[in-house]
Amino acid sequence: MTRSYRGAIAVLGTGMAGLGDCGGRSEQEIIAQAAHRAVAASGLRMDQIDGIITSSLTSPWWVMRMAEYLGIRPRFSDSTMFGGSSFIADLKVAAMAIEAGQCDHVLICYGANPRSVPSSTQVNQMRAALDPQPYEHPYKPFNPVSSYALAAARHMHQYGTTRRQLAEVAVAARKWAQLNPDAFLRTPLTIDDVLDAKMISDPLTVRDCCLVTDGAGAFVVTRADRARDLHARPIYVLGTGHAHWHRQISCMPDVTVTPAVDSGRAAFAEAGLAPADIDIVELYDAFTINPILFLEDLGFCAKGEGGAFIGGGRIEPGGELPMNTNGGGLSFTHPGMYSIFLVIEAVTQLRREAGERQVRQADVALVHGNGGVLSSQATAILSHSL
Amino acid sequence: MATLSTDPAFSPERHYFEQLAQGRFTIPRCRACARAHFYPRALCPHCGADTLDWIAPSGRGEIYSTTIVRSKAGDYTVCLVDLAEGPRMMSRVVDTPVESVRIGMPVTARIDTVDGAPLLVFVPEPEGRA
């Protein structure tokens, strides 16, 4: 039988740094700044951090480099690459490590600077060479966009989802971003702006795609039974789930059904909750099709109905199911592996610290991270109460 | 065809591309569960067996999904093709305007030479053959 980690760990402090354009500072510099903020907000000193989980799109040695940089000698560390879903998948790993007595305070952190320090052609070629895909690369998919475009096109064909419905996801994200002073893009955005934007890989225009920004995020998780000694408002992790079925889009059995089906089921089962119990959702919106797929796969609506479900203002400010309340990867920030910011925003909302964008009823939040090309799916359910 | 995977030095990946270079499109099919798969692996991804035969597929398939990559060098398609034998693969449809490639369209495989290497592409199936 699967052991339950319901409420075993809690998120303490969070921190962000270098959002938007970090002015060419190094990834380690902005991660350290975010980590410093997160640790201080947790009522801890850096030398009390005895666990660290981080990963990088480039360096396979990242957790050693980061621990070295921060001066941490971890009793527990992990650096498994789950793409953009990593920092939600890491919550399960952290809960297992803490429950097993391997460590007490785990720092989970990530950052990148692709806006002010764009990867050279050489680095991009090296990334492709280090993860060879000889059955896809020769066809020159403009990845990741083209892989998500293939999923979007099939969803449109199979269920009648429209480009306007995809655009509604981007428009709703922008409305939230307009309430968030830290968001990268805050100018008004209309459905037609999205539809008329430069086509990248049909049916996705540049406005259906997430931003490329700098940014770092960090948070600390600790034993739930000691969390209140350190922080006035710990946010408990009630359930987690993680699943992956493929790496490449050509190996995804049905491009309209993601492993979020499994990760969501596991997270809800552990939490003892159902979609109707969730007040806000933070779903990794690398592309506008993503939240539509995830709302279906996580059980908020039936398969194929996601396009209609997000309409009528449901996911916008003031809507029935506030979604991506910081503006998301589409309008807030997106430095490559975005899921760290999903957790930070959910924690901010659950603590009622979200300022103008604060959702009135925010007691239970679902965060969902996506990695690769719909490949890795990680879900967690968070609340201020056990 | 012979079962090749019992030779410990056999590389399914090398074999696939060598066959393609000789103008032959071949894919593995499992003796244990009788299912074909793509891309070629050392073990059947359906049942885990290592007894794999290589078959010559009919070359007929159907577009499962498609996108047009809008590139400065010119637009081209990237498709997922479901082969008549079951497996799915990434490819591109050529010899037809990119806008005419549709989901559900019947297509036929062809081996082209692109950038000096053999590349399996698809062309629309001739009218009336479907």
CB B65 within 8 A of CB B79: yes
Edge to edge, what strands does the sheet with A9-20 contain?
A76-78, A51-54, A105-112, A214-223, A9-20, A235-244, A376-383, A364-371, A280-283
State how far residue A240 is from chain B, nearest Cα, in angstroms: 28
Q: Which CATH architecture has domain A9-117+210-383?
A: 3-Layer(aba) Sandwich (3.40)
CB A30 within 8 A of CB A61: no
Domain chopping of chain B, boundaries: 12-55, 60-124
Average pLDDT over residues B24-39: 97
CB A338 within 8 A of CB A211: no
Of the candidates A32, A151, A148, the one whose C-alpha atom is nearest the C-alpha of residue A83 is A148
Where residue B4 falls among pLDDT bands split at 50, 70, 90? low
User: CB B90 to CB A250 under 8 A?
Assistant: yes
Nearest CA in chain A to B86: A253
Specify the amino acid at residue A259. Answer: P
Half-sphere CA count of B111, side-chain side, radius 13 A: 14
Question: What's the CATH number for B60-124?
Answer: 2.40.50.840
A135, A154, A248 ranked by CB distance to B65: nearest = A154
Of the candidates B90, B79, B87, the one whose C-alpha atom is nearest the C-alpha of residue B54 is B87
Residue A40 phi, psi (nearest 5): -65, -40
Domain chopping of chain A, boundaries: 9-117+210-383
A interface mutation test: which of B13, B64, B69 has the most A CBs within 10 A? B69
Sequence-ordered strand ranges (E) for B32-116: 52-55, 60-69, 76-83, 88-91, 106-114
Of the candidates A37, A45, A78, A135, the one whose C-alpha atom is nearest the C-alpha of residue B92 is A135
Within 10 angstroms of residue B1's Cβ, the number of other Cβ atoms is: 9
- List C-alpha distances in Å: A145 to A190, A202, A247: 21, 9, 15
CB A189 within 8 A of CB A291: no
User: CB B76 to CB A140 under 8 A?
Assistant: yes
Interface of B with A (CB under 8 A): 13, 17, 38-39, 64-71, 76, 78-80, 88-92, 103-104, 114, 117, 119
Average pLDDT over residues B14-20: 97
Sequence length of chain A is: 386
SS3 label, residue A204: strand
User: CB A250 to CB B69 under 8 A?
Assistant: no
A153 in reach of chain B (CB within 8 A): yes
Who contacts A308 (Cβ-Cβ below 8 Å, separation ≥6)?
A: A165, A301
Q: B124 exposed, middle or buried (CB, 10 Å; 0-12, 13-18, 19+)?
A: middle
The pTM for the full model equals 0.97
Buried b (16+ CB within 10 A) or exposed e, A13-43: bbbbbbbbebeebebbbbbbbbbebbbebbb
Q: Looking at the predicted structure, is the pLDDT value of residue B18 above 70?
A: yes
What's the pLDDT at B6? 67
Average pLDDT over residues B24-47: 97
- List C-alpha distances in Å: A90 to A80, A191, A343: 8, 36, 11
Of the candidates A376, A321, A377, A327, the one whose C-alpha atom is nearest the C-alpha of residue A348 is A327
Q: Looking at the predicted structure, is the pLDDT value of residue B109 above 70?
A: yes
What's the pLDDT at A325? 99
What's the pLDDT at A68? 98
A325 in reach of chain B (CB within 8 A): no
A132 prior amide bond cis, ω within 30: no
B16 prior amide bond cis, ω within 30: no
d(CA A250, CA A239): 31
Nearest CA in chain A to B82: A250
Question: What is the pairing mode between strands A204-205 and A105-112?
Answer: unpaired
B13, B39, B90 ranked by CB distance to A139: nearest = B90
User: CB A200 to CB B70 under 8 A?
Assistant: yes
User: CB B70 to CB A249 under 8 A?
Assistant: no
Q: Looking at the predicted structure, is the pLDDT value of residue B128 above 80?
A: no
SS3 label, residue A242: strand
User: CB A201 to CB B78 under 8 A?
Assistant: yes
Retrieve residue B104's tokens. 């559900």
d(CA B42, CA B49): 9
What's the pLDDT at B5? 61
Of the candidates B55, B28, B57, the one whose C-alpha atom is nearest the C-alpha of residue B44 is B28
Q: Looking at the predicted structure, is the pLDDT value of residue B1 above 70?
A: no
Q: Give B-chain residues touching A202 at CB under 8 angstroms.
A: 67-68, 70
Average pLDDT over residues B93-112: 98
Q: Give B-chain residues touching A153 at CB under 8 angstroms.
A: 65-67, 103
Q: How far apart are the first and last CA of chain B?
A: 28
What's the pLDDT at B126? 83
Spell out the per-residue pLDDT of chain A, length 386, in tens: 789 999 999 999 999 999 999 999 999 999 999 999 999 999 999 999 999 999 999 999 999 999 999 999 999 999 999 999 999 999 999 999 999 999 999 999 999 999 999 999 999 899 889 999 999 999 999 999 999 999 999 999 999 999 999 999 999 999 999 999 999 999 999 999 999 999 999 999 999 999 999 999 999 999 999 999 999 999 999 999 999 999 999 999 999 999 999 999 999 999 999 999 999 999 999 999 999 999 999 999 999 999 999 999 999 999 999 999 999 999 999 999 999 999 999 999 999 999 999 999 999 999 999 999 999 999 999 999 99
User: CB B71 to CB A142 under 8 A?
Assistant: yes
Q: A197 exposed, middle or buried (CB, 10 Å; 0-12, 13-18, 19+)?
A: middle
